[in-house]
Amino acid sequence: MNDIDQIFQKRLSNASVTPPPFVWDGVERELRKKRRRSIFWWSLGLGMLLGVASLTWFGFSKTTPTRHTSTPLTLTANTPSNETHLKVKKAPNVAPLTPNTKQKNTAENQAFNHVLSTKNGLVAPNTSILPPISSPYPTPSEGLPKQNQAGQQSSDAPTFTTSSRVTSPQPLSGTAVSDNPPSFVLASATQQYAALKPLHSSFTLLKSKMAIVNTQKWQQKIIRKKKETDTKCYNFESHANAWLFDAYTGPLYAQKSLSTGSNPENKTYHDLRWNTESHRGLGFTAGARASLLVKQHFSVGTGIDYQQFTEIFSYEKPLYIQVLIDPNTGDTLDLDIVTQRFKQYSRFGFVNIPFSAGYEIRQGRRGVHLRGGGAINLLFWKNGTMLDQTTLQPAKFDTQDAFRVNAGLSLIGSAQFFLHIQPRTRLFAEPYYQRILKPVTKETYPLQQNYNLIGLRLGLTKIF
């Protein structure tokens, strides 16, 4: 075994095998991954280093501001031209301020601190509302030597131009004094408020006046709108009592009921009539009514009313029976019953005197008038056909002693919805319900015939 190992070792010690192509692809991928990792970590480290360096640089580059103290400033104003400049001078030592001097100082501060530099594009407030300007410190001509005055006029420093010379009694602490002072000095909050207080009062007064004007305009619009509305509506406030005259017409629906009353033996006759007559009828109503409106809302009225509706009577009458017989055998082949069919219209009419009491509710041009009352029937007429109670054959109403001369008393309830198109003219739609209290048939008739009426009155109202 050892010899074999040595033989293989000698023969294969210098042998080499060429790897397949896919091996090199894998090696290249691994090398690329290693390069990417190296680039990423180098970039990350460099970025962190730059960030730390930047923070360190900006941290040490910040300097703390130093506080400077300055002596009180004296601002003088001259009027050689329209340009506005400032001149900063050290205030001389002056005597303590007296109460009168302090009062003048306050007025001067309010005036000065609100004068802005026109050189920087700022506009000064209206100087007409500012108090006269005076200074508690000696002016150059009063408290300074003449040499300083001459030097002041010949100095190259800018001058502040206004109608009078003003000075600032307060030192500008925390600000270094330089030969080129700022073009304007801001006033304190108290001084600004004191100077703007008259303007604030004027603005408040103007705002209140505008609110009053707007309120007056709205009131005028409301009044104008109300007048426009009133031009199409009757003035019931000044005329609490008025006459209303209605003229109307409209559709009518009649619902019929038929009963045997206290005698059940008439059940067969009841069924025959019920099967040959319609249970409802359609028609119309028309009339006129006068109402007195009292205290703007309450009304009483009466008039005349006509109602008419139609029912259908249909009947089949057997005439004869036709039989077909086979001549050879004698058997019946066919049986035919010959009948006579006919349909007629039965009409009913009521002439009533209605009476009612009501209450009217209005809102602008619109409103509703609620009415309740009744009607007395003056005339009840009928024309048509019905089954005779004895022969059970069709017969005219005239030959039957079945209906009463008048229908009697009815109860009526209605709600009138109206709209004014003119002050004394309005349109209305009035649905109503009417119940006839007693049957329209006589007491001697075996059946009781009752009606309920539902209608809609469409019409016009005139107010007087």
- Tens of pLDDT, residue by residue over 247-293, are 999 999 999 999 987 777 888 899 999 999 999 999 999 999 999 99
Report in angstroms the alpha-carbon separations of 45 from 32, 39, 283, 313.
20, 10, 104, 111
Say if CB 126 and CB 163 are below 8 A apart: no
Say if CB 67 and CB 112 are below 8 A apart: no
| Percent of all residues in the chain with a pLDDT value above 70, rounded to a whole number | 59
What confidence score (pLDDT) does residue 424 get? 93
pLDDT at 146 over 60: no
- 47/125: higher pLDDT: 47
- Any alpha helices (H) in 113-188, and if so which ranges? 140-143, 146-154
pLDDT one-digit tens code per residue, 445-460: 999 999 999 999 999 9
pLDDT at 95 over 80: no
What confidence score (pLDDT) does residue 188 get? 59
What confidence score (pLDDT) does residue 133 get? 46
Residues 6+ apart with CB under 8 A from 396: 384, 385
pLDDT band per the 50, 70, 90 thresholds, residue 33: confident
Q: What is the mean pLDDT of residues 200-213?
A: 71
Q: What is the mean pLDDT of residues 368-384?
A: 96
What confidence score (pLDDT) does residue 381 get? 94
Residues 6+ apart with CB under 8 A from 158: 85, 86, 87
What confidence score (pLDDT) does residue 420 get? 94
Say if CB 282 and CB 321 are below 8 A apart: no
What confidence score (pLDDT) does residue 459 get? 97
Six token digits for residue 392: 């059970």
Q: What is the mean pLDDT of residues 88-105?
A: 48
Type of residue numbered 126: N
Six token digits for residue 58: 């900006």
pLDDT band per the 50, 70, 90 thresholds, residue 351: very high
Q: What are phi and psi of 161, to 5 degrees?
A: -95, 125
Report in angstroms the alpha-carbon separations of 35 from 23, 40, 57, 133, 272.
19, 9, 33, 82, 113
**Spans of all domains in the chain:** 73-187, 196-230, 235-313+345-463
- 346/23: higher pLDDT: 346
What confidence score (pLDDT) does residue 329 get? 81
DSSP string of 5-51, one letter each residue: HHHHHHHHTT---PPPHHHHHHHHHHHHHHHHHHHHHHHHHHHHHHH
pLDDT at 38 over 70: yes
- Any alpha helices (H) in 264-341, and if so which ranges? 267-276
pLDDT band per the 50, 70, 90 thresholds, residue 196: low
- Whether pTM > 0.75 for this model: the answer is no
pLDDT band per the 50, 70, 90 thresholds, residue 90: very low
pLDDT at 147 over 50: no
Residue-averaged pLDDT of the chain: 74
What confidence score (pLDDT) does residue 419 get? 95
What confidence score (pLDDT) does residue 70 get? 45
User: CATH top-level class for 235-313+345-463?
Assistant: mainly beta
Say if CB 395 and CB 386 are below 8 A apart: yes
What confidence score (pLDDT) does residue 150 get? 41
What confidence score (pLDDT) does residue 176 get? 45
Say if CB 386 and CB 397 are below 8 A apart: yes
Say if CB 358 and CB 299 are below 8 A apart: yes
Least reliable range by pLDDT among 63-67, 325-329, 427-431: 63-67
pLDDT at 109 over 70: no
Query: What's the CA gap between 127 and 164, in Å, rounded?
Result: 12
Six token digits for residue 290: 């006068």
Helix (H, G, I), strand (E, B) or coil at 198: helix
- The closest alpha carbon to 434, from 335, 314, 276, 287, belongs to 287
Calculate the dihedral angle through the C-alpha atoms of 229, 234, 237, 238, rounding to the nearest 10 degrees: 120
Least reliable range by pLDDT among 109-118, 207-216, 253-262: 109-118
What confidence score (pLDDT) does residue 345 get? 93
- 413/42: higher pLDDT: 413
Q: Find residue 318's DSSP bridge partners.
A: 339
Helix (H, G, I), strand (E, B) or coil at 295: coil
The CA-based diameter of the chain, rounded to the nearest angstrom, is 171
pLDDT one-digit tens code per residue, 42-78: 888 888 888 888 777 766 555 444 444 444 444 444 4
- 220/292: higher pLDDT: 292
Query: What's the CA gap between 267 and 262, in Å, rounded?
Result: 11
Count of CB atoms within 10 A of residue 165's CB?
A: 22
**Sign (positive or negative) of CA dihedral 363, 368, 372, 375:** positive
- The closest alpha carbon to 108, from 219, 187, 45, belongs to 187
Least reliable range by pLDDT among 185-199, 361-375, 382-396: 185-199
Six token digits for residue 251: 């559709």
Q: Find residue 301's DSSP bridge partners.
A: 291, 356
Report in angstroms the alpha-carbon separations of 175 from 72, 74, 87.
11, 15, 16
pLDDT at 168 over 80: no
pLDDT band per the 50, 70, 90 thresholds, residue 305: very high
Buried-exposed string 330-350: b where 16+ CB fall within 10 A, e elsewhere: eeeeeeeeeeeeeeeebebeb
| Percent of all residues in the chain with a pLDDT value above 90, rounded to a whole number | 37
